[in-house]
Amino acid sequence: MSPPLDFLHATAHALATLTLYAPDHPACAGVVDGAWDRLENLLQENPAPRFSFLKDAVVYGNLPLHDLKNWTWSRRLSEIGVQRLEVDPEVGRDGLVAFLQDVTARLPGQRKMDGTQTDHPGIRWGVIGVKGQEMDQWDSASSATIAYKLGEEADVVRWVYERAAREGVVARDEVETVIASLSVAMQADLPFLMPLLQLTDQDEYRTMHALNVALLTMTLAESLGMGSQDIHAFGVAGLLHDIGISRVPKQLLLKPALDAADRAILENHPSEGARILLARKGEFDLAAVVAYEHHMRPDGKGYPVIRYQRDLHYASKIVSVCDVYDALRTTRTHRPAWAPGQALGFVEDGAGTVFDAGVARAFAAMLRRLDNRHALTQGAGSPIPPTAEV
């Protein structure tokens, strides 16, 4: 068993034992020693390990631990506020003991906390909150909100798109890393997420847009009651929906206006993206469908133009809404960013023509439910911009 799995299993064993016996019972000392031994082994491999506990998954660093899918303790820890756990290299046994005792006290059926905060030397844990590019100094108290940023993930997405441009290849492992991290980020409230993923450099538009669309797609899929496998697959499709753009010359993307020849090149990116993804022989079949369909519309005015109208895949319908909303909310070379209410009004006005009606309504309801503090309902709908320029 790998050191991360060893440590988590030993920690779960220690927590289970501490719920049954008083702290001075011999059984408790034995399980704590076992957890400490596993932690020391883990620190030899990784001097600063970090874990994220989701409802049905555990993420170690940026990678999901597939052996712990649907692990009972992941849900239990998440529900009591232990969504993020980080260990410093200088942690001592006392710090681990303080952590175990504090977490045990928060488990259902244990003594109630008196409201005080307990320091855990070398161990930081708490709920997940998404911050900006610069992270605040964390409070070491157990109730701290742990800042989570996506800088590393942005680097990975940038590399994925650059490699697709050079070689026409997309690597599965890198995509899985990013989706795992976005699953962690989804634990935070949407108001924290969107400011984090705002465009900071026009050159970085595709990187941040891919992250935003994947995150919005996964959040919408979850709000629609989809299972974890579908949420994951839809997130991959959202992340890679514009992979064909990697083959479009950068200078064309930075033009303030496009002529007919430019538009023909740009409108080929769905077909190019589908070709890149289908080359992976089954790894990205759904993403390939979405890459091909995400600019198609119910009224038949999108692209690529097909001879016979047909219903789009449900994932394409979801990604299409998330794609346009995020694009409108971002400053582009040919127009300023739209206000949240204006962009949301566009989505609602386009229900049944630009977008699938049911999906558009569900998206609007989701944003209002998650973030009514940001006045998303303000602003009237606006004329539909040319699809290729969104």
Write out the DSSP string of 250-310.
HHHHT-SS--HHHHHHHTTHHHHHHHHHHTTTTTTHHHHHHHHHTT--TTS-SSS--SS--
Q: Bigger pLDDT: 178 or 55?
A: 178
Structure tokens at 195: 């400011």
Q: What are the CA-CA distances from residue 317 to residues 7, 144, 147 (Å)?
A: 42, 38, 32
Confidence of residue 189 (pLDDT cuts 50, 70, 90): low
Q: State yes or no: pLDDT of 255 exceeds 70.
A: yes
CA dist 125 and 146 (Å) reads: 7
Q: State yes or no: pLDDT of 322 exceeds 90.
A: yes
* Torsion angle (degrees, nearest 10) of CA 85, 13, 58, 76: -80
* Residue found by looking up tokens 């582009």 in the block: 332
Q: State yes or no: pLDDT of 180 exceeds 90.
A: no
Do residues 329 and 358 both lie within one domain? Answer: yes
Which CATH number belongs to the domain containing residue 171 in this structure? 1.10.3210.10
- The domain of 83 spans 3-148
> Starting from the edge strand earliest in sequence, which strands make up the sheet with 50-53, in order?
63-64, 58-60, 50-53, 84-87, 123-130, 145-148
On whether the CB atoms of residues 377 and 341 are closer than 8 A, the answer is yes
> Considering the entire predicted model, what is its pTM?
0.75
Structure tokens at 187: 């634990």
Domain boundary among 120, 148, 176: 148
pLDDT tens digits for range 330-382: 877 778 889 889 999 999 999 999 999 999 999 999 998 876 544 444 444 44
As a residue count, the chain comes to: 390
Do residues 318 and 351 both lie within one domain? Answer: yes
Do residues 28 and 124 both lie within one domain? Answer: yes
Do residues 141 and 159 both lie within one domain? Answer: no
Do residues 166 and 19 both lie within one domain? Answer: no
User: What is the total count of domains within the chain?
Assistant: 2
Write down the pLDDT at residue 186. 79
Do residues 197 and 339 both lie within one domain? Answer: yes
Do residues 119 and 247 both lie within one domain? Answer: no
Average pLDDT on 289-318 reads 93
